[in-house]
């Protein structure tokens, strides 16, 4: 993964371990950039993996809509935690070509702050009900599937009442 910032992995107050910036980051600054150390897989490649490996990969990856590939990396990305609203400080805001894919700061981020990805943009729940990736999450990573469904439901309820 092409990290463009200086960061460290340490205990998170949200969940397990998290990624923390060691430097100030300005809104709009790129956090990471797709590179060839990352994998972009289709259903056949993912289906050929061992179930335990697939579960780990699903936790640390996302579906890249433009390329129709599941992007994943074995590395520190698995420590990226999620937050909603103002707490989410990094994310993807538009689909680009895979070679240009990146995450950016959604607001200014202070040194020592944990990086929280906004998952809604690339949630599997933006995909059709019969999409192959939904089935992989439901079968091999049900806790992440339930988590993303819960996020989706909370946001939908907020929109209806807000």
* Beta carbons within 8 Å of 103's beta carbon, 6+ residues apart: 30, 31, 32, 90, 91, 92, 117
For residue 21, the model assigns a pLDDT of: 98
Average pLDDT over residues 87-116: 94
- Asked whether the predicted pLDDT for residue 101 surpasses 60, the reply is yes
Measured CA distances, 33 to 5, 39, 41, 71, 101 (Å): 10, 13, 17, 12, 6
For residue 156, the model assigns a pLDDT of: 63
pLDDT tens string 16-62: 999 999 999 999 999 999 998 899 999 999 999 999 889 888 888 88
> For residue 21, what are its two tokens?
């910036």
Share of the chain above pLDDT 90, in %: 47
For residue 159, the model assigns a pLDDT of: 55
DSSP tag of 99: G
Task: Encode 72-82: b = buried (16+ Cβ within 10 Å), e = exposed.
Answer: bbeebbbbbbb
Most confident of 37-46, 105-114, 141-150: 105-114
Range with the poorest average pLDDT among 33-37, 116-120, 124-128, 150-154: 150-154
**CA–CA distance, 153 with 37 (Å, rounded to integer):** 34
Element (H, E) at 117: strand 116-117
Which is nearest to 7 in space by CA: 92, 103, 95? 103
Higher pLDDT, 36 or 115: 115
Inter-residue contact 98 to 66 (CB < 8 Å): yes
pLDDT tens string 62-79: 899 999 999 998 788 888
Inter-residue contact 133 to 124 (CB < 8 Å): yes
Average pLDDT over residues 86-98: 90
For residue 161, the model assigns a pLDDT of: 60
For residue 39, the model assigns a pLDDT of: 92
């Amino acid at each position: 993964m092409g990290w463009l910032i200086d960061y460290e992995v340490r205990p998170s107050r949200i969940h397990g371990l998290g990624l923390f910036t060691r430097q100030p980051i300005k809104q709009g600054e790129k956090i990471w950039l797709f590179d060839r150390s990352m994998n972009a897989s289709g259903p056949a490649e993912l289906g050929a993996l061992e179930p335990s490996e697939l579960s780990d990969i699903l936790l640390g990856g996302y579906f890249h809509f433009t390329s129709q590939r599941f992007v994943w990396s074995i590395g520190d990305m698995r420590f990226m935690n999620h937050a909603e609203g103002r707490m989410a400080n990094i994310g993807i805001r538009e689909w680009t070509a895979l070679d240009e894919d990146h995450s950016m700061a959604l607001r200014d981020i202070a040194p020592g702050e944990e990086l929280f990805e906004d998952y809604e943009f690339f949630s599997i729940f933006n995909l059709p009900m019969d999409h192959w990736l939904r089935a992989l999450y439901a079968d091999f990573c049900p806790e992440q599937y339930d988590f993303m469904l819960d996020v989706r439901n909370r946001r939908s309820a907020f929109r209806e009442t807000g």
